[in-house]
Amino acid sequence: MNRLENASSALPTPDPQATLAYTPITLPMRGQRPLELRLAAPVQGESLPIVILSHGLGPSQ
């Protein structure tokens, strides 16, 4: 283990929760291939934050 792995092992984490996923969600993109998304959310909860992860528009498009 390196120093960061040792430090990260001490971070608190929530208990596992059941999730629901919808995939693929396809959005048309003018002049490009359609954008495929995956939506995952906890089965229970309210006022949950939205987190968007994107790898960007690199050369692979």
DSSP the chain: --HHHHHHTTS--PPP--EEEEEEEEE--TTSPPEEEEEEEESS-SS-----------TT-
Is pLDDT above 70 for 11?
A: yes
Report the predicted TM-score, pTM, of the whole model to 2 decimal places: 0.55
pLDDT at 19: 93
Number of domains in the chain: 1
Has residue 60 been placed in a domain? yes
Q: For residue 12, is pLDDT > 80? A: yes
What would the pLDDT profile of 30-43 be if each residue is shown by its tens digit?
A: 998 888 889 998 99
Q: Report if residue 3 sits inside a domain.
A: no
| Mean pLDDT (the chain, rounded) | 85
Range of the domain at 49: 18-61
